[in-house]
Chain A
């Protein structure tokens, strides 16, 4: 029996993985080859998807990107014995893109069958929870605090402190809520993990529940991720049947159950309080803080809220100890981050690496430069609310504090590359437009400021009272930064100002189309 892996990750599916799996099955049948096809997650080398792997005595051998029409030639070349083919890359784990990573959170993703608990256990899954169940809750929290883990959703708040706040409160009901509303362009790490290793998220949330004293949890997944929703629901069912969820987990006396809630296309629901409103079945309006959600969260009860990546980092912290995790990284940025290379890039994908790696290393060493082959001109780091970095800032190490110093943010580690054909004035305009479309409308600076922002940028582009309007835009940005209730209005000025300051020449171009000229009048 030969095992062949064909990913079931949405990105792999988007490039025809299902057709490839079908073609391999039928060709194997035709040739009477004894083949077992496993639908694994993605290894994160998305530029090679669908990446087909064959298990050989030497290890797993990679072929990609494989199209259904390549399958016959792969069989002819003897790929079932790992023989060479023009799509071959040798042993998967020896491919430099993969080999030069430090995979802690994504240690299993792409390797295991996402729905096999046996696979999960074989690769160290549930070791963390097994330990946690035998510990005092406060000791679990201390381990997380020692690891230096900070919220991977972008804000970077120390996870241990958040958990301790919930732990210390007395309440008849506490919750754990996972923010899986990964709405930022350039990010797909949450999606990859939910599809490729869902038990890892479930385990992380269960550890959080045990530590904080919660018995019920929700995963809020965006509706644009139907595959993640299916996979999580299926994995939760499997975990429940095996008593890794539910009453008296593995005889420990702890109980925790988990539910998936689907969003409905509102970007703002990635903001934690807005997400809580949405889980409660309401409009996703941002809440005033205080009270912070740790104290009054879901249904008014103490709630541990973290992003997918934060929860998914926890199992290994418990399994190997906080010190182990802390030994990765630089300064106050400890552990690893799942960097996501996206946009105009030759080798797009996920690179998990300790903090301290530079933008240039990621774009050039892993990414191989732009997809178009033209020079990279700007990189937006940390999502639509992150700054646009010019080439002169590509050597700043990825570190929460270092990035703040250059008026940028690491965020969740997403990098969107643009080549030299980009018009940065249009990107600045888009940032304001996006904020106007997605604002929840509760606070004035965000709701109205973003609409005015689009108008002012249009005037600058059309060369109407340039000096005056540039000053007005700067002023508006300060108001939005200081006066908005949440990060949407508060951070939109970041891409706008970085575009304006780093690429001022683009704001001197005539309006590219009639619509803009009309709007500016």
Chain B
């Protein structure tokens, strides 16, 4: 894609980047850590999400300038990948696998149970901001399905009862 972007014949023009919000400041320092290299854009988004919880819209223009890419390209990359959030999400992201191996072990029932237990649809965030539930396709724990991941912690053989235990743990932690 990038080779289609027209540039001035004198070569890329480096603009001065101004950050006016804390998120923009964070974005710029992450970009700088990656040498402002456009091929590290996914890593940059991952780190932003790690630090800020999501990738705020107003950081896209400064990232575009820092990496010397068009805003459309930066926006296009952000929106292409399921993993990146463009809006604030819950403190904990609970990913429920809905791929075939988990389907064969009842993940559909588990999803319905999760929605009822938390009173939100898949993709939603609880009112208190503790939990966001998401569907994913495969966590690589297919021999011990259904699988659920909370942050980076993986759970196997998750039935509704075990799901409730996991959620209770998160709620207890949030209350403390």
Query: A267: CB under 8 A from chain B?
Result: yes
- B137 near A226: Cβ-Cβ < 8 Å: no
- A13 near B154: Cβ-Cβ < 8 Å: yes
Which one of B1, B77, B81, B101 lies within 8 Å of A342 (CB-CB)? B101
- B39 near A279: Cβ-Cβ < 8 Å: yes
- B81 near A11: Cβ-Cβ < 8 Å: no
- Given A227-B152, A281-B40, A380-B100, are A265 and B82 neighbors across the interface (CB < 8 Å)? yes
The residues of B that contact A187 with a CB separation of less than 8 Å are 138, 140, 142
Count how many chain B residues have C-beta atoms less than 8 Å from C-beta atoms of the other chain: 46
- Mask, A276-303, CB within 8 Å of B = 1, is 0111111111000000000000010000
Query: B113: CB under 8 A from chain A?
Result: no
- B142 near A261: Cβ-Cβ < 8 Å: no
Summarize B's interface: helix, strand, loop or mixed.
Answer: mixed
The residues of B that contact A46 with a CB separation of less than 8 Å are 143-144
Which residues of B146-169 are within 8 A (CB) of A?
147, 149, 152-157
Query: B41: CB under 8 A from chain A?
Result: yes
The residues of B that contact A264 with a CB separation of less than 8 Å are 42, 45-46, 81-84
- A342 near B143: Cβ-Cβ < 8 Å: yes
- A262 near B143: Cβ-Cβ < 8 Å: no
Q: Which residue of B lies closest to A262 (CB)?
A: B46
Query: A2: CB under 8 A from chain B?
Result: no
- Mask, B37-63, CB within 8 Å of A = 1, is 111111101100000000000000000
Interface centre among A49, A265, A371, A440 (most CB of B within 10 A): A265
Query: B145: CB under 8 A from chain A?
Result: yes
Complex: how many Å from CA A223 to CA B149? 12
Query: A183: CB under 8 A from chain B?
Result: yes
Complex: how many Å from CA A223 to CA B152? 10
Q: Which residue of B lies closest to A384 (CB)?
A: B100
Expressed in whole angstroms, the minimum distance between the Cβ of A441 and any Cβ of chain B is 9
- B140 near A182: Cβ-Cβ < 8 Å: yes
Which one of B1, B46, B82, B97 lies within 8 Å of A283 (CB-CB)? B1
- Given A264-B84, A266-B80, A283-B1, are A11 and B141 neighbors across the interface (CB < 8 Å)? yes
A-binding segment of B8-16, B21-29, B102-110, B116-124: B102-110
- A188 near B43: Cβ-Cβ < 8 Å: no
Query: A345: CB under 8 A from chain B?
Result: yes
Query: B89: CB under 8 A from chain A?
Result: no
Query: B2: CB under 8 A from chain A?
Result: yes
Q: Which residue of A lies closest to B76 (CB)?
A: A283
- A49 near B144: Cβ-Cβ < 8 Å: yes
- A224 near B143: Cβ-Cβ < 8 Å: no
- B143 near A47: Cβ-Cβ < 8 Å: yes
- Given A261-B42, A281-B77, A282-B2, are A191 and B140 neighbors across the interface (CB < 8 Å)? yes
- Mask, A192-214, CB within 8 Å of B = 1, is 00000000000000000000000
- B142 near A340: Cβ-Cβ < 8 Å: yes
Which one of B46, B77, B137, B157 lies within 8 Å of A185 (CB-CB)? B137
Complex: how many Å from CA A140 to CA B138? 36
The residues of B that contact A148 with a CB separation of less than 8 Å are none
Which one of A11, A278, A283, A440 lies within 8 Å of B143 (CB-CB)? A11
Query: B30: CB under 8 A from chain A?
Result: no
Expressed in whole angstroms, the minimum distance between the Cβ of B12 and any Cβ of chain A is 15
The residues of B that contact A266 with a CB separation of less than 8 Å are 80-83
Query: B99: CB under 8 A from chain A?
Result: yes
Query: A344: CB under 8 A from chain B?
Result: yes
The residues of B that contact A278 with a CB separation of less than 8 Å are 42
Complex: how many Å from CA A187 to CA B141? 8
Which one of A223, A261, A416 lies within 8 Å of B100 (CB-CB)? A416
- A185 near B144: Cβ-Cβ < 8 Å: no
- B138 near A183: Cβ-Cβ < 8 Å: yes
- B104 near A344: Cβ-Cβ < 8 Å: yes
- Given A226-B152, A262-B42, A283-B80, are A430 and B143 neighbors across the interface (CB < 8 Å)? no
Interface centre among A225, A261, A343 (most CB of B within 10 A): A343
Query: B170: CB under 8 A from chain A?
Result: no
Q: What would 27 A/B residue contacts be, using CB atoms closer than 8 Å? A: A11-B154, A13-B153, A14-B144, A14-B154, A185-B99, A185-B100, A185-B101, A185-B102, A186-B101, A187-B138, A187-B140, A264-B83, A265-B81, A280-B38, A282-B41, A284-B80, A341-B143, A343-B104, A343-B105, A380-B100, A384-B100, A414-B142, A416-B100, A416-B104, A417-B104, A419-B104, A422-B104
Enumerate chain B interface residues (CB-CB to A < 8 A): 1-2, 37-43, 45-46, 73, 76-77, 80-84, 95, 97, 99-105, 136-145, 147, 149, 152-157
